[in-house]
Amino acid sequence: IRQNFLLLRQQVVTLQSFVRAQVVRSMMPREVKKASVRVLKANRQARLDPSQTLGARMAWALAEIDRQPSMGKITRAVMTLEIATRLCKKSCFDLSRADAMKILIKTAQSCNRSLPHIELIQYILKTFVNVARHEELIHAIATEHAGGLYIDLLQTFRDKEEIFQSAVSLLKSSLAHNGGLLKHMQGSGESIKRLKQIKEIKAKKEGAQLMAAPTRLNRTKARANPNKQKHSHR
């Protein structure tokens, strides 16, 4: 009798769960429903094709970067790394142990201000930020070479807000975690000098923007009220 009772209770719980799930799905916003459908579709495709699983795509991306391919291929590989490290902590560990980190730093240092290169740098920094979310892995993005990269990016892309903010965040995390990096930068003097120059340039630009703001506001008002301006001249 007890076994029958337990079986019946399990069936009731299952039915309740099913009904609750249906109610929740019916109340979901349209965007969430579309995202849910995409996730289910991706899961079905991954089960049919094992090469599409996150782990397999991560392994492909690491192998592709080790080959140091063309810019287009390495961008696709880094985009895959960014997704994998954002969604899976294990992928962050895999990346931190691989030689790909050094290759990514070297690749970012070789980039210029062209749009394809800017896109690649953004994905590299996003990947590093994903890794830095895990305290035990910060050492992977806090090396001397990485610190040099962040300063290079701050100087070269100080007008690109996304790159600039990501580089600032990574540099702060690196200095807080790696005392040796901080001593190295303080000892060299060159890094401190460059950071001061970047700060001065940013301050001048922000000051100029603040000075220009009232002028732009007056021009906007003038365009919005042309009749009022004519009457004032009369």
Which one-letter amino acid corresponds to residue 94?
Answer: D
Q: Residue 156 has what pLDDT?
A: 93
Whole-number pLDDT of residue 5: 81
- In the chain, the percentage of residues whose pLDDT exceeds 70 is 87
Phi first, then psi: give them for residue 134, nearest 5 degrees: -105, 110
Q: How confident is the model over 160-170, as a mean pLDDT?
A: 94
The pLDDT value recorded for residue 32 is 79
Residue 121 has a pLDDT of 96
Q: Evaluate whether 104 touches 65 at the Cβ level (below 8 Å).
A: yes
Q: 31-74, pLDDT tens digit by residue? A: 877 887 887 787 777 677 777 788 888 999 989 888 877 888 89
